[in-house]
Amino acid sequence: MSDERDPVVSDEGTAHAIEVTINGETHKRTVLARQLLVHFLRDTLGLQGTHVGCDTGSCGACSVIVDGQLIKSCMMLAPQVDGASIETVEGLAQDGELNVLQRSFNENHGLQCGYCTPGMLMAATDLLRRNPNPSEDEIRHGIRGNICRCTGYVNIVKSIKAAAEAGAGAAEEASR
């Protein structure tokens, strides 16, 4: 965590020095209290894989994993993640290669427009960590917070199932 020091107050509210680890890389920045986490990721750090859909906590497009917990980044403030370790969709591919889950979405047509996909992938990553071999019901329950307006979910469920069968679940569980 960053050194204890008083935030700077201006007519924009408080500004806080924070330190966060994102996909293994440490970032030190000064953030305004009024900045949502999703804008810190997208605008301040340029990590635009995380999408903004509804901006009301309803669609899940902005889902990322903070300290092992799936959350919606439009529902947290940037200073709240001081000291945290964050995983975003940019961290899934390894050495430029899509991981098993991402490949499965590709092969099983788990996306059409792709807007929901980053959030869906993070929700699926979280699900497979907790439950490496989910049933269809468990998959649907796991992605309850993620809306897709294109696919009707059938191919998303299929993609997650296939990824689990290809060992994505076991790998995620081991990585915890």
Ligand X SMILES: Cc1cc2nc3c(=O)[nH]c(=O)nc-3n(C[C@H](O)[C@H](O)[C@H](O)COP(=O)(O)OP(=O)(O)OC[C@H]3O[C@@H](n4cnc5c(N)ncnc54)[C@H](O)[C@@H]3O)c2cc1C
According to the binding rule CB under 6 A, does residue 58 interact with ligand X?
yes
Determine the angle formed by the axes of helices 100-107 and 117-130, rounding to 10 degrees: 130
Among 57, 68, 83, 114, binds ligand X (CB under 6 A): 57
Instruction: Round to whole Å and give the CA distance between 144 and 11.
Output: 39
According to the binding rule CB under 6 A, does residue 114 interact with ligand X?
no
Total interface residues for ligand X by CB under 6 A:
2
Among 17, 77, 150, 166, binds ligand FES (CB under 6 A): 150
**Closest separation in Å from C-beta 48 to another protein:** 16
Residues contributing to the site for another protein (CB under 8 A): 7, 9, 11-14, 16, 33-36, 39, 55-57, 60, 63, 69-72, 74-77, 79-80, 123, 126-127, 142, 144-146
Q: Tell me whether residue 32 or residue 71 sits nearer to ligand X (CB atom).
A: 71
Number of H helices, E strands in the chain: 6, 6
Select the binding partner of residue 16 from ligand FES, ligand X, another protein, none (C-beta < 5 to 8 A, by kind).
another protein
According to the binding rule CB under 6 A, does residue 144 interact with ligand X?
no
Instruction: Round to whole Å and give the CA distance between 17 and 152.
Output: 42
φ, ψ for residue 107 (rounded to 5)?
-70, -30
Instruction: Round to whole Å and give the CA distance between 134 and 137.
Output: 8
The letter for the amino acid at 159 is: S
How far, CA to CA in Å, does 142 sit from each of 115, 116, 132, 149, 170?
Answer: 18, 15, 12, 17, 17
Binding site for ligand FES (CB under 6 A): 52-55, 57-62, 72, 74, 111-116, 148-151
